[in-house]
Amino acid sequence: MALDRQWREEAGPGKGPLIDGMLTSPPSRRLGKVRLRHGALLADMMLIDSQGLLAAATRLTSDYIQGDETKYLETFPRGTGTIHIEAPHYDESVQDYVVMASIVLGDPADSRPLGVLTVTINLEMLKP
């Protein structure tokens, strides 16, 4: 809860030790590279750990704790490979309609769920 409070306090100005550390971490930079390869199609990517905490992100999120959100609740408890696609909605930060798709990633050795990968897809980019 303390980390979530700190995240929300730093989210106002958009920077601080927790946010800066997260957005510049090696996993976040790797997600950023993947996102950039897909241009404007992928508006955002994030990894959520097994405890429902943000583990990597390509842009600022509103909170650090993701475990109380649909993208986690509808996937992680159901195990590795579970997919959840949320209804399309307007995203202020993208200024367009998006859909969020999430999948539970598992340990290749034993399929134990490790976390959730969520991608935000810009629906405008899917138009022919």
Whether 82 and 94 have beta carbons less than 8 Å apart is answered as no
31 token code pair: 């997600």
Residues 43-85 pLDDT 10s: 999 999 999 999 999 999 989 999 999 999 999 999 999 999 9
Q: What is the structure's pLDDT at 127?
A: 81
pTM: 0.92
Whole-angstrom Cα distance, residue 52 to residue 66?
5
